[in-house]
């Protein structure tokens, strides 16, 4: 009898992937996998963690991390306008000798319909609310002149910022002594969708003088960045204002002004599609810097202040250093020889022979004699292997290269650029 197994609900990722039909190439008939599954190097889909496309280094958790994935919605843009009206422009009017702040409200469908029907906005008790500023969002147009993520299923463009502190790199005196550079952590997001939003705004007051003061304050704030400095700011543009005074029989007198705000913003949605296809966080790559030190006249390879491997070749210590007590230093002549890498352009003699106008440096005592092993030779940027070189000799201030065209696969001509890099004397 089969055992009774409790069903396990599918995750949101499994549900979303099940709704997508994989693309099948009409030429090869091979499925290219689910486009919502991000794979490294654009390989075929690998949903399994053992797949080729799975990169565990990109699967970093945000648990206990105060920095969360970046999102920005339309409500955030609406709130930036509300914040700027209330905290920066701060419109006021004089009424009955008292300066009062002008209320700002968002024009929900019910409020906006009431305003358009009656010509002015009333409160719950039926009284006209004046002075008042009301705004609402009309249209959203995509701005394609700015950057784009190219493909929502496989975003190619990202934005990133570096965190100031990484929990995995706590301060340690041991790290300071060993010259250890901690890794850096970056938060990544897809590039936003840049949009142009249009807002309709209505001002209603009792007097034209009050309306003038509000329009003057709003017009001064045009063509600047609106929003909370600690959150988001967007450039706002206002081109024209329309003013009307409505006085009819047996009705109230109302002064109205209307204008349109064009806001240049951007949107980063909080959607499951973005979560499945975009990386979110990564660490910088660690580095190992290889240097040369000498102890008791012996060269050692070290990394970040810590010895990594045994000795290489003996060096001649300078006077007063490198004795039995340790602390030897490298000979200046030896250091000069090791750091010398001079590039010379060759001159064509014939199809197999090139000359260079320089001699060789003499190797210091304790180092191997200067030979072809101290040089790298390139023809038009391609390395010439030693197996294709018949001879590489020096005579006075002239170095001669002779190649085997059969081994090399070609011969020299006047258009070839042959360069040698190594221990040339000048």
**Per-residue model confidence (pLDDT) at position 70:** 77
Mean pLDDT of 372-391: 89
CATH number 3.40.50.300 given to 74-144+193-267:
no
- Residues ≥6 apart with Cβ < 8 Å to 392: 372, 375, 377, 399, 400, 401, 402
Is residue 408 over pLDDT 80? Answer: yes
Closest C-alpha among 162, 187, 182 to residue 172: 182
CA neighbor of 195 nearest in space, from 270, 263, 135 = 263
The rounded radius of gyration (Å) of the Cα atoms in the chain is 37
Domain 74-144+193-267 and domain 338-422 have a common topology = no
Domain ranges of the chain: 74-144+193-267, 290-330, 338-422
The arithmetic mean of pLDDT across residues 19-29, rounded, is: 67
Q: Does domain 338-422 match CATH 2.40.10? A: yes
The length of the chain, given as a count of residues: 426
Percentage of the residues of the chain whose pLDDT score is greater than 70: 63
Confidence of residue 19 (pLDDT cuts 50, 70, 90): confident
- Please enumerate in sequence order all residues whose Cβ is within 8 A of that of 28, keeping only pairs 6 or more positions apart, or say none: none
CA distance 240 to 259: 6
Are 160 and 187 within 8 A, CB to CB? Answer: yes
Which pLDDT score, from 0 to 100, does residue 321 have? 41
Q: Which two tokens stand for residue 329?
A: 């230093």
* pLDDT tens-digit series, residues 251-304: 667 788 899 999 999 988 877 666 656 667 777 766 555 555 555 544 444 444
Range of weakest confidence among 156-160, 186-190, 359-363, 392-396: 156-160
Q: Is the pLDDT of residue 199 over 60?
A: yes
């Amino acid at each position: 009898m089969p055992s009774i197994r409790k069903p396990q609900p599918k995750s949101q990722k499994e549900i979303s992937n099940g709704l997508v039909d994989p693309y099948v190439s009409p030429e090869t008939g091979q499925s290219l996998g689910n486009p919502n599954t991000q794979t490294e190097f654009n390989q075929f889909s690998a949903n399994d963690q053992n797949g080729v496309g799975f990169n565990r280094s990109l699967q970093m958790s945000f648990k206990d991390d105060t920095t969360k994935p970046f999102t920005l919605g339309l409500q955030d843009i609406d709130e930036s306008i509300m914040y700027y009206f209330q905290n920066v422009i701060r419109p006021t009017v004089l009424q009955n000798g008292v300066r009062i702040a002008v209320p700002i409200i968002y024009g929900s469908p019910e409020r906006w319909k009431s305003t358009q029907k009656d010509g002015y906005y009333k409160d719950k008790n039926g009284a006209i609310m004046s002075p008042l500023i009301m705004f609402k969002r009309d249209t959203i147009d995509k701005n394609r002149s700015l950057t784009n993520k190219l493909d929502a299923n496989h975003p190619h463009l990202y934005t990133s910022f570096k965190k100031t502190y990484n929990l995995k790199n706590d301060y340690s005196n041991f790290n300071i002594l060993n010259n250890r550079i901690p890794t850096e952590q970056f938060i990544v997001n897809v590039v936003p969708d840049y949009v142009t939003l249009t807002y309709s705004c209505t001002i209603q007051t009792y007097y034209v003088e009050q309306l003038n003061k509000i329009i003057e304050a709003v017009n001064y704030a045009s063509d600047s960045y609106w929003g909370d400095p600690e959150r988001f700011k967007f450039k706002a543009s206002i081109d024209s204002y329309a003013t009307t005074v409505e006085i009819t029989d047996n009705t109230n007198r109302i002064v109205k002004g209307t204008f349109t705000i064009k806001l240049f913003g951007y949107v980063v949605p909080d959607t499951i599609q973005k979560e499945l296809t975009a990386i979110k966080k990564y660490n910088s790559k660690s580095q190992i810097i290889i240097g040369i030190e000498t102890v008791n006249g012996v060269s050692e390879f070290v990394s970040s202040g810590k010895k990594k491997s045994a000795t290489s070749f003996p060096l001649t210590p300078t006077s007063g250093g490198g004795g039995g007590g340790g602390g030897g230093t490298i000979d200046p002549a030896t250091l000069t020889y090791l750091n010398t890498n001079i590039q010379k352009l060759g001159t064509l003699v014939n199809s197999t022979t090139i000359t260079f106008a320089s001699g060789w440096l003499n190797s210091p005592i304790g180092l191997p004699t200067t030979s072809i092993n101290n040089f790298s030779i390139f023809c038009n940027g391609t390395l010439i292997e030693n197996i294709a070189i018949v001879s590489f000799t020096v005579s006075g201030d002239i170095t001669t290269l002779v190649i085997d065209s059969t081994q090399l696969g070609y011969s020299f001509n006047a258009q070839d650029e042959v360069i040698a890099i190594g221990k040339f004397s000048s």
